[in-house]
Amino acid sequence: MATLTPVKRALALAAEDLRRQPLRQRRQQGQQQQQGQQQQQGQQQQEAATGPSRQRKGRSRPRSDGAGASNNTAAAAVPAPRDQRPNASPLAASSGSGAGPPAGSRSGAHRVVAPGGNRSGGCDGGGLAAASDGRTGTAGAAGTAGADGTAGAAGPSQAVDVTDATDEDADLCLICLDGPRRHGLLHGGTVHSCLCDDCAEELRKRLERQEQQPLTCPLCRGLVERVVLVY
């Protein structure tokens, strides 16, 4: 072979370099890809190793300080002392035990004649309702009750207290203590004058309705048959 001139040799080396350059580039790219894959695998292995520990940390119990919910729950579980518990209402206690209303709370308590009492109000029938419902029973069927003798007389605590009445109150109605006595209660041939016009009219209406319980006289506790005009 003929020896190459320096110019031809340089050209041959340059051509060889150009031919080998794509191979070098492919090798470098392959090495870079391998390094990238190795890095990704390493990261995945690290994440797989640290994943369970993170989950365990996330499931740890929450801390609670002195004013936290844990202390509040424990305090709520402890029952309050007996002296700090709210007292039951008297109404609930009476309804639960089956006890009736206390003595003196009945709407039919008798009205006591007080000396020098207020007589400014008229006869509204309220005192008559108290005398007929609470003290002597509601009016009605007096003749039948008196014939068979089943209805008893009212007790001493249910009679009108006239011992403290003054002479000035002697002519006033025993029910309202306001109007003058013009009507009486007839029972067994005896008439006791003790009612004013308004109270007598109210009592007549009660007798006409013929209610279940009989009516007794507030003076002698006799069974009332009817209301009559005295004067």
pTM confidence score: 0.30
Looking at CATH, the fold of the domain delimited by 126-145+171-229 is given as Herpes Virus-1 (3.30.40)
Locate all alpha helices (DSSP H) within the chain, ordered by sequence. Answer: 6-58, 69-77, 90-97, 126-129, 142-148, 197-209
Strand, helix or coil for residue 132: helix
Residue 33 clears pLDDT 80, i.e. is over it: yes
CB within 8 Å of 133: residues ≥ 6 apart:
107, 108
| Rounded distance between C-alpha atoms, residue 179 and residue 168, angstroms | 12
Residue 29 clears pLDDT 70, i.e. is over it: yes
Residue 230 clears pLDDT 60, i.e. is over it: yes
What is the predicted pLDDT for the residue at 174? 84
What ranges do the domains of the chain cover?
126-145+171-229
Interval 140-192: pLDDT, tens: 333 333 334 433 333 333 334 444 445 556 788 888 888 898 888 888 888 88
Question: CB–CB of 199/149 below 8 Å?
Answer: no
DSSP 62: P
What is the predicted pLDDT for the residue at 96? 43
What is the predicted pLDDT for the residue at 196? 92
Interval 45-69: pLDDT, tens: 888 888 666 656 555 555 545 444 4
